[in-house]
Amino acid sequence: MSPATTPVSRSFAAAGPPTADVDSDGLEGLENACLGFGLPAAAEQEIQLAGAAYHAEAEAERHVLRAFELAPEHPATHIALYRFYFYRNRLAEALAVGLRCLAHAAALNGLAHDWRVVAPGSTDFGDYSALPRFYLFTLKGCAYLSLRLGKLEQGGAMLEKLTELDAGDKVGGSVLRGVLDRLGQIDDD
């Protein structure tokens, strides 16, 4: 796998060079940040180095952690760290990062820190702009990882919340719900 197409760097290769500061353009700047724009050059370089070193896990991890240290408030570094652990099948670490990312996504959207109390009217989840979508996909990822780690109650509750917030199923939470429902049927047999 070439450095430009590794799981850590894939989403950034297509984004192009940073063009917007996370804080300079208000909502538009935050939405651009969710797409990878505005990432400081040093953090972007560390993510690229992590991708190039993907075959050497410890080295790649050092780079992705350094990127996070350089830009801890930027959504791209949260996503890169999450993906690193996820693709390395280090699911407990991926879930821990995912939960931090969910709290960060909540803050960016002006939502309650606790996902359990976020209500559908808290933001326009149906709009499907970058910020609400970032929150919904992060919640879905945390639900998935919870299920994979055997935390069925937590994963199920997250899926219920996702269904409540994403009534149109734009992020595909119903697929995970179907898997969980089938698990329940297997247990009943």
- Residue 187 pLDDT: 53
Would you state the structure tokens that stand for residue 46, as one six-digit string? Answer: 């560390």
- Residue 128 pLDDT: 72
Q: List the chain residues with pLDDT less than 70.
A: 1-37, 184-189
Would you state the structure tokens that stand for residue 148, as one six-digit string? Answer: 């994979």
